[in-house]
């Protein structure tokens, strides 16, 4: 069966529109310099990774073997404890965060979750879904959590388990909460019942190649970490990776007889194609390639900040950030370059596909607009 000529024409037009829209965005953290043609034949099959990726199921049309290799790669990158890690390829950062919070709630049902006001909007939704008690902590001007406010709040509730939701790359300013500082606060009040989740959606695959390396992973004290796959790495389908300490996951796992597997993930049926996308990408890039992508993005962000300042724009960014922040610009330019704006600031994110000529074009448009206003 085929589409009618009218619908085929509509689909062709939509494809052309999407191609044009993909060319112009610079305000959202989604890489577009990818090519997965080698995987196209696999779209003919109902790939479904049921249940736990480390336990074979009676369902065989899956990519579990590739998913395991992806998780192992990121476990090493994120310095997970040897023989004490577990994870899976998710639908995206939100699911990874939901998993981390779910695990924390199951371990500490009476715990309080602490998160900053700059935390991604989906986290409040996740906390509501899980019916978790929570307290929002102030953020510093750069978007990083206010450690003194966190310290004082934890002091007032030191009799209860502490669940920390830490950010390693906030939405608007790419601020990174320092888990080592948070651990010192928990130690100060002798809080043994604790859980730290690290939301590293954008920066999880960038941080390992930065100097100094941000404090955000398992070696720094995280119990679980969520990363987005379609952001820094790049994927045509939203996806992500979540990793957690296996000793904690084992305490909530349960066996499902009819699939012959453990139920350890958020969803039952899971995308079997995206693990292949991540597998292809990490084998194509390798650690060396990811390091070069990170270096390019940071250098482009530095260039962007300098160019904006050269035309009088008060641009700034956090240390080693690929996100450049500046005062809110006109709706016309926000629309043209698809630039995210909130609370009076606009940001531009220098993903690996962004080149200096893209920045030059934007800066030229902004400068032209400024001059026209001054006339």
Segment 137-162, tens digit of pLDDT: 999 999 999 999 999 999 999 999 99
Confidence grade of residue 263 (pLDDT, cut at 50, 70, 90): confident
Question: Are the C-beta atoms of residues 100 and 256 closer than 8 Å to each other?
Answer: no
4, 228, 321, 330: the catalytic one is: 321
40: its two tokens: 């196209």
Q: For residue 211, what are the contacts with CB-CB under 8 A and spacing of at least 6? A: none
**Where are the domain boundaries for CATH 3.40.640.10 in the chain?**
45-282
- In this predicted structure, the answer to whether residue 261 has a pLDDT above a threshold of 70 is no
Query: Which CATH architecture is the domain 19-36+286-367 placed in?
Result: Alpha-Beta Complex (3.90)
- In this predicted structure, the answer to whether residue 17 has a pLDDT above a threshold of 70 is yes
Q: Is the Cα torsion angle 138, 197, 109, 155 positive or negative in sign?
A: negative
**Where are the domain boundaries for CATH 3.90.1150.10 in the chain?**
19-36+286-367
Sole residue written with tokens 């032209």: 368
Quick one: pLDDT at residue 1? 75
Quick one: pLDDT at residue 255? 46
Q: For residue 118, what are the contacts with CB-CB under 8 A and spacing of at least 6? A: 139, 143, 144, 145, 167, 170, 171, 172, 173, 175
What average pLDDT does this structure show over 336-349? 96
How far is it, in rounded angstroms, from Cα 294 to Cα 300?
A: 10
Least confident of 95-99, 179-183, 240-244, 263-267: 263-267
Q: Kindly state the DSSP code that residue 196 receives in the 8-state scheme.
A: E
122-139 residue pLDDT tens: 999 999 999 999 999 999
pTM of this structure: 0.94
Question: Are the C-beta atoms of residues 242 and 81 closer than 8 Å to each other?
Answer: no
How far is it, in rounded angstroms, from Cα 253 to Cα 52?
A: 9
Q: Kindly state the DSSP code that residue 230 receives in the 8-state scheme.
A: I
How far is it, in rounded angstroms, from Cα 342 to Cα 325?
A: 11
Quick one: pLDDT at residue 302? 98
In CATH, 45-282 is 3.40.640.10: yes
Quick one: pLDDT at residue 51? 85
Quick one: pLDDT at residue 148? 98
How far is it, in rounded angstroms, from Cα 142 to Cα 118?
A: 10
Using a pLDDT cut of 70, give the percent of the chain over it. Answer: 97
- In this predicted structure, the answer to whether residue 375 has a pLDDT above a threshold of 90 is no
Confidence grade of residue 260 (pLDDT, cut at 50, 70, 90): very low
349-368 residue pLDDT tens: 999 999 999 999 999 999 99
Closest Cα partner for 295 from 215, 206, 218? 206
Tell me, yes or no, if 321 is annotated catalytic: yes
28-77 residue pLDDT tens: 999 999 999 999 999 999 999 988 899 888 889 999 999 999 999 999 99
Greater pLDDT, 340 or 58? 340
Quick one: pLDDT at residue 250? 84
What average pLDDT does this structure show over 214-231? 98
Mean pLDDT of all residues belonging to the chain: 94
Confidence grade of residue 346 (pLDDT, cut at 50, 70, 90): very high
How far is it, in rounded angstroms, from Cα 224 to Cα 166?
A: 10
Quick one: pLDDT at residue 342? 93
Closest Cα partner for 185 from 114, 102, 245? 114
Confidence grade of residue 253 (pLDDT, cut at 50, 70, 90): low
């Amino acid at each position: 069966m085929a589409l009618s000529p009218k619908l085929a024409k509509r689909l062709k037009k939509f494809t052309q529109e999407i191609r044009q829209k993909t060319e112009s965005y610079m305000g959202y953290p989604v890489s577009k310099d990818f090519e997965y043609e080698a995987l196209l034949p696999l779209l003919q099959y109902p790939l479904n990774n049921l249940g736990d990726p480390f336990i074979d199921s009676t369902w065989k049309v899956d990519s579990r073997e590739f998913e395991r290799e992806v998780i192992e790669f990121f476990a090493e990158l994120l310095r997970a404890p040897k023989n004490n890690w577990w994870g899976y390829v998710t639908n995206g950062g939100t699911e990874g965060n939901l998993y981390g919070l779910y695990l924390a709630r199951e371990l500490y049902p009476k715990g309080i979750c602490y998160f900053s006001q700059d935390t991604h909007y989906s986290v409040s939704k996740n906390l509501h879904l899980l019916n978790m008690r929570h307290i929002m902590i102030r953020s510093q001007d750069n978007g990083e959590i206010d450690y003194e406010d966190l310290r004082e709040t934890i002091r007032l509730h030191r009799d209860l388990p502490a669940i920390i939701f830490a950010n390693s790359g906030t939405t608007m300013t790419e601020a990174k909460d320092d888990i080592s500082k948070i651990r010192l606060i928990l130690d100060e009040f002798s809080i043994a019942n604790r859980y730290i989740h690290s939301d590293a959606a954008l920066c999880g695959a960038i941080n390992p190649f930065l100097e100094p390396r941000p404090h955000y992973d398992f070696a720094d004290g995280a119990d679980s970490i969520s990363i987005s796959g379609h952001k820094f790495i790049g994927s045509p389908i939203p996806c992500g990776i979540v990793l957690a300490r296996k000793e904690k996951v084992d305490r909530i796992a349960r066996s499902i007889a009819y699939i012959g597997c453990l139920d350890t993930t958020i969803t039952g049926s899971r995308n079997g194609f995206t693990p292949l996308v991540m597998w292809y990408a990490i084998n194509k890039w390798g650690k060396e390639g990811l390091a070069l992508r990170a270096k390019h993005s940071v250098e482009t962000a530095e260039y962007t900040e300098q160019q904006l300042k050269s035309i009088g724009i008060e641009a700034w960014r956090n240390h080693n950030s690929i996100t450049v922040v500046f005062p809110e610009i006109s709706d016309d330019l926000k629309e043209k370059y698809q630039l995210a704006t909130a609370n009076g600031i606009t940001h531009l994110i220098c993903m690996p596909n962004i080149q200096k000529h893209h920045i030059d074009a934007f800066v030229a448009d902004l400068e032209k607009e400024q001059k026209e206003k001054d006339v």
